[in-house]
Amino acid sequence: MDVDLTSNDGLSLGIPLVVSNMTAISGRRMAETIARRGGIAILPQDIPVDVLARTIKKVKSSPTVFETAVTVSPNDTIATALTLMPKRAHNAVVAVDQDGRPLGIMTKAEAQNVDRFCQVHQVMFPVRTTVSSQTSPQEVFEALEENHEHLAIAIDDDRRLIGVMTKKGALRSTIYRPALDADGRLKVGCAIGISGDVQRRALALLEAGADVIVLDTAHGHQDRMIDALPKALEARDAFELVTEKRVPIVAGNVVTRGAVIDLIEAGADIVKVGIGPGAMCTTRMQTGVGRPQFSAVVECAAAAKDFGKSIWADGGIRYPRDVSLALAAGAGSVMIGSWFAGTHESTGEMLQDSEGRYYKESFGMASKRAVRNRTRGKTAFERARAAIFEEGISSSKMYLDVERPGVEDLVDFITSGVRSSCTYAGASNLRELAEYAVVGAQSPSGYDEGRPLNTSWR
């Protein structure tokens, strides 16, 4: 617990985790939740600016310690409540009156053996543990423990609902430092493409409150990226002149030293590294283009360090070890996509397979499905032409881990691994991890030797 996980990318995030700007993953719920635990989510580029602005506003107005509650009217049906319940890991809804004052709580247990057209007020149980916004997480934990309750309700002076907190949420609030902007609000980033009016879109998102702007394209080392970066910088500088807030510009994706140098010289503060390692990406199999992620991160991080800049390692994260390796290789933060898709907080709809297992659908951002979304404003002919070309999986089932169904559960899993990695290397922070770590090549049999066995080998 003495290990400092503050990111080395200039953002000083409480944890070095960035949620990928994938439509199936990153939205308001994900942005709020990851920011409370110290990371940051990047909202996708394929969303209209006005919608992004509303999303940013909602994230910024969310509680920074307490979790956002799922609310219903007491007259809503149980079916409606059950539909909303999976949107948050605490699996409860709070019935509120017209003024936002909590009246009762409902969980799945109250809905068992009850007609789905019954109303929430018929099955909800009364709120027993209420706290103020100033109540410390430890005090919330102790109150829940004393009352044998699962959920505490935070209210303001007028008894209006602020948020909720579970016992595990209380514990997490004492471990993680929220990612907050200068005004004490949750941080959130936005991605924009390199086509179209980059300067106008960047300025609009900055004015909406975006804390990071990511210029994102599958092939970041191209002339259009080099041309787009100065336009984003002009928007950033104009915004900074009025607000005195300097927002970092991220650009990518690339995998070579030369590409990192070119993007930094064009104005990027952070360079996004990774071509082909993502779970939804078919680029390497279709094109032969790409590079093993660890090799790319080592080379690109060293190049960025020469300029006093940093990189984000984007893709290829399946286990906590992959995050530790990327940080040991010099990454300032690590971007995660598909692993977070199968969580309560991702944007997808919760579905069930024939065996009753819960999952969400994920898809690549260069897949036919994503291209169709991206070109919805074009003519039918233009959309049909674009749909012929795709790189990426259009539909993949990302099952919820029964033990870790929420993104916070995965954050616990990842950060505990990274903390332990640091102690093995004798590092008290991530900068020391990159300095002290000794990395060697490993054969497939050596890797397999390190995998745990769920059953006996005899």
**Which residues are known binding-site members?**
216-218, 274-276, 278, 281
Return the DSSP state at 180.
B
Task: Please tell me which residue in 190, 281, 300, 422 is annotated as part of the active site.
Answer: 281
> Would you put residue 227 in left (φ > 0), alpha (ψ -120 to 50) or beta?
alpha
Specify binding-site residues for K(+).
276, 278, 281
CB-based contacts of 81, cutoff 8 Å, min separation 6: 72, 93, 106, 111, 120
φ, ψ for residue 39, nearest 5 deg? -95, -165
CA neighbours closer than 13 Å in the CB half-sphere of residue 364: 20
Return the DSSP state at 93.
E
d(CA 118, CA 31): 33
d(CA 250, CA 246): 13
- Identify the residue whose tokens are 């919608």: 51
Cα→Cα distances 339→20, 70, 180, 406, 412, Å: 10, 24, 24, 11, 14
d(CA 380, CA 366): 19
What residue type is 172 in one-letter code?
A: R
d(CA 4, CA 422): 9
Active-site annotation holds for 190:
no
Listing DSSP states for 24-92 in one string gives: TT-SHHHHHHHHHTT-EEEE-SSS-HHHHHHHHHHHHTS-SSSBPPPEE-TTSBHHHHHHHGGGSTT-E
Q: What residues act catalytically? A: 281
